[in-house]
């Protein structure tokens, strides 16, 4: 890394103020040589161990940070990359405050004045691009620089690096650059390169999905030479435990990455074969079909629900019709899972909210009360459901709920199931909550 003189940094965060417990969730460092040419690129998503804040801004999901390193995991690598270089960012004060707060949280404050002696391309734009605007997009637009995907740390840092290269070329050898280089050498902290650190890129469309869960089961579970030799009845407790977990996980008709991992672990611990997992999944769909037929009619909505479950479990397309046909020939539910699970929790159920929702939290809690539920501020064993802004949320409430085997569902379940069909009541509730902050969402930890 001897040829790196400037380290262009960009961070994506859960909010705008580290003092309010907001954290870094993605960071990138673009290394530039003395002339401003890019010579290295390093980036990773970071698990903040809390909810993700305004996901509509940064686009990072719970699935993205699931399995990602924490800041403590990357701290040595980041320090080694910054050591002796000039820190650069577009609005350096923002990124530097978060980086400083993360290191202080680890009890490792950065060298005095290091981040404060860097270069801010937003400030330099006033010198080289007067009237162009302050934002990264405006400055890049003035020079015809393609940002790439905005609000991704890697692309934003690379764009800021190209801005700096343009500025250096406009005024090579200027004191603003030579002074910064000298200060960086004085503020460095000697260290050897640490052991290789695992990085974790954010996902791209189509790079993940629930359907990968079945593939993981098939790849890791043992096969039976004679699948009919031992059926689920032979190990009722183990099979029922897996089926009950499946029932909770599919409450919202999707499988988060946390739920996928829990099911894979449960199948391994129970010693279930891949053939018997398929039998349990078919039985789950059959029990749903039996519940749909309980009143003698299968509505379009019920059929669509069966199709969604079949898709998530990667059952063949004809499985829905086969399950409905089988359900007409027998009485009662089929298979080990309860299937219907009462998708809509009963009146009086304690429901806890976590994360940055599309409406203010007090407003949502009022809607839940009007629908007969009891909003609860924290997760206890008495809570029946946790609604998260993201079903893979890393918030403390979501982690505690998973430990208690309480279902964690996404916000869509709130509107599609819990409060569905009560639009008029919802509107009345919205008008009735006068003291609510109308800003989008209320961050929760």
Q: Is the pLDDT of residue 367 over 80?
A: yes
Q: Which own/partner contact pairs does 173-178 have at CB distance under 8 Å and 24+ positions apart?
A: 176/119, 176/124, 177/86, 177/119
439 found inside a domain: no
Q: How high does pLDDT run on average in the chain?
A: 83
Residue 200 lies in a domain: no
Cα atoms in the 13 Å half-sphere on the side-chain side of 5: 16
In a domain, 324, yes or no: yes
Query: Same domain, yes or no, for 132 and 258?
Result: no
- What is the pLDDT confidence band of residue 231, given thresholds at 50, 70 and 90? very low
Q: What are phi and psi of 106, to 5 degrees?
A: -90, 0
Domain boundary among 329, 358, 375: 329
Same domain as 112, residue 164: yes
Residue 297 placed within a domain: yes
- Domain contains 236: yes
Residue 195: CB atoms within 10 Å: 6
> What percent of the chain has pLDDT above 70?
82
In a domain, 334, yes or no: no
Domain end marker among 169, 186, 203: 186
> What pLDDT does residue 276 have?
81
DSSP class of residue 334 equals: -
Domain count, the chain: 3
Q: Do residues 22 and 65 both lie within one domain?
A: yes
Same domain, 129 and 246: no
Q: Quote the percentage of the chain above a pLDDT of 90.
A: 46
* Type and span of the H or E element at 7: strand 6-13
In a domain, 75, yes or no: yes
Q: How far apart are the C-alpha atoms of 425 and 335, rounded to whole Å?
A: 38
176/218 same-domain check: no
Domain boundary among 296, 329, 362: 329
Q: Which of 243, 306, 294 is nearest to 272 (CA)?
A: 243
pLDDT digits (tens, 9 = 90+) for 259-308: 888 888 888 887 787 778 888 888 888 888 888 888 788 888 888 888 98
Place of tokens 């002796």: 84
Domain co-membership, 313 together with 367: no
- Which residue from 5, 417, 56 is spatially nearest to 251, judged by alpha carbons? 417
Residues 80 and 168 in one domain: yes
For residue 97, the model assigns a pLDDT of 93
Region 8-27: what's the mean pLDDT? Answer: 93
- Sequence-ordered strand ranges (E) for 140-264: none
Q: Where is average pLDDT lowest: 10-14, 136-140, 188-192, 370-374?
A: 188-192
3-class DSSP state of 44: strand
Side-chain half-sphere exposure of 118, counting CA atoms within 13 A: 31
User: Does residue 195 fall inside a structural domain?
Assistant: no
Q: Please tell me the distance from the alpha carbon of residue 261 to that of residue 258, in angstroms, as a whole number.
A: 5
Give the domain CATH number at 89.
3.30.420.10
Question: Greater confidence, 399 or 336?
Answer: 399
Residue 149 belongs to domain spanning: 6-186
Query: Is 0.85 surpassed by the pTM of this model?
Result: no
48 and 98 housed in the same domain: yes
Residues 267 and 390 in one domain: no
CA distance 383 to 405: 10
**Residue 136 shares a structural domain with residue 21:** yes
- Are 10 and 138 contained in the same domain? yes
Whether 133 and 42 map to the same domain: the answer is yes
């Amino acid at each position: 890394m001897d040829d790196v003189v400037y380290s262009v940094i960009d961070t994506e965060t859960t909010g705008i103020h580290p003092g309010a417990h907001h954290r870094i969730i993605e960071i990138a460092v673009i290394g530039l040589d003395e002339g401003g040419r890019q010579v290295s690129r390093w980036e990773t998503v970071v698990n903040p161990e809390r909810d993700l804040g305004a996901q509509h801004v940064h686009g990072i999901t719970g699935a993205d940070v699931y399995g990602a390193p924490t800041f403590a995991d990357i701290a040595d690598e980041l320090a080694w990359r910054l050591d002796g270089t000039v820190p650069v960012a577009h609005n350096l004060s923002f990124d530097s405050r978060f980086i400083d707060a993360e290191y202080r949280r680890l009890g490792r404050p950065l060298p005095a004045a290091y981040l404060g002696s860097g270069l801010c391309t937003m400030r330099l734009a006033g010198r080289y691009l007067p009237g162009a605007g302050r934002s990264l997009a405006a400055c890049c637009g003035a020079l015809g620089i393609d940002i790439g995907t905005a609000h991704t740390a890697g692309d934003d840092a690379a764009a800021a690096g190209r801005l700096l290269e343009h500025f250096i070329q406009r005024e090579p050898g200027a004191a603003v650059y030579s002074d910064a280089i000298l200060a960086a050498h004085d503020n460095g902290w000697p260290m050897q390169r640490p052991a290789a650190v695992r990085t974790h890129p954010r996902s791209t469309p189509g790079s993940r999905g629930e359907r990968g869960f079945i593939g993981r089961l098939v790849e890791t579970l043992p096969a039976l030479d004679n699948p009919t030799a031992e059926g689920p009845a032979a190990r009722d407790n183990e099979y029922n435990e897996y089926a009950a977990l499946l029932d909770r996980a599919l409450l919202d008709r999707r499988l988060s990455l946390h739920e996928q991992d829990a099911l894979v672990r449960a199948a391994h611990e129970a010693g279930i074969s891949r053939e018997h997992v398929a039998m349990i999944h078919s039985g789950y769909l059959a029990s749903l079909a039996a519940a749909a037929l309980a009143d003698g009619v299968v509505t379009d909505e019920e059929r669509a629900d069966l199709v969604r479950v079949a898709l998530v479990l990667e059952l063949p397309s004809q499985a829905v019709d086969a399950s409905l046909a089988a359900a007409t020939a027998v009485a009662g539910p089929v298979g080990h899972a309860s299937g219907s699970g009462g998708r809509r929790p009963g009146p009086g159920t304690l429901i806890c909210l976590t994360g940055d929702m599309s409406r203010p939290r007090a407003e949502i809690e009022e809607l839940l009360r009007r629908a007969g539920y009891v909003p609860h501020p924290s997760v206890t064993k008495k809570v029946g459901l946790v609604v998260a802004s993201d079903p893979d949320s890393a918030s403390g409430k979501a982690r505690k709920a998973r430990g208690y085997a309480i279902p964690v569902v996404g916000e869509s379940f709130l509107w599609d199931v819990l409060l569905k069909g009560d639009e008029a009541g919802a509107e009345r509730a919205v008008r009735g909550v006068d003291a609510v902050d109308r800003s989008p969402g209320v961050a929760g930890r």
